[in-house]
Amino acid sequence: MAIAKLTLTAIDCPDNRALAQFYSEITGWPVSPDSDDEWVWLESDTGTTLAFQLAPDHVAPTWPEGAHPQQLHLDFDVPDLDEGEAAVLALGARKSDHQPGETFRVYLDPAGHPFCLVLRRPFA
């Protein structure tokens, strides 16, 4: 029996509205109009969502190693890695220099958090 249900992942960042918009474009989930200056979240239709907490002194993680290691990363399934890559780069992501696999690719969001696009088939 589960103890709890995961409903939200919160991400610290120096510009929470901009990062929320970035992930809104990736997921298709709109930014909640009920968000405030400190806490911005996406309205997901899946029961689990992302939120972005204002952290003006946020230091971007270094990945894959360094003084500020990643604390977490997000994986997003895509039907085509090349198309997914073009889309996230157009939104402002940067491709990581370190690419450890062939069925996924690592990127850095505008605040420097690593995230992956993962090739999954079949894609629904």
Return d(Cα 13, Cα 108) in angstroms, integer: 13
Task: Pick the range with the lowest mean pLDDT from 12-16, 21-25, 34-38, 59-63.
Answer: 59-63
Q: Strand pairing partners for 9?
A: 50
Which domain CATH number covers 26?
3.30.720.120
The pLDDT-based confidence of 64 (bands split at 50, 70, 90) is confident
pLDDT for position 123 = 55
Q: What is the pTM of this model?
A: 0.83
72 and 122 co-located in one domain: yes
Give per-residue pLDDT as tens, 95-115: 999 998 888 999 999 999 999
**Structural domain of residue 51, as residue ranges?**
1-57
pLDDT for position 86 = 97
pLDDT for position 70 = 79
83 and 44 co-located in one domain: no
66 and 124 co-located in one domain: yes
Q: From residue 117, give the alpha-carbon distance in Å to each of 76, 77, 121.
A: 5, 6, 13
Phi-psi bin for 79: left (phi > 0), alpha (psi -120 to 50), beta?
Answer: alpha
23 and 79 co-located in one domain: no
53 and 63 co-located in one domain: no
Radius of gyration for the alpha carbons in the chain, expressed in angstroms and rounded:
15
Question: Does residue 11 register a pLDDT over 90?
Answer: yes
68 and 41 co-located in one domain: no
Last residue of a domain, one of 57, 75, 90: 57
pLDDT for position 62 = 86
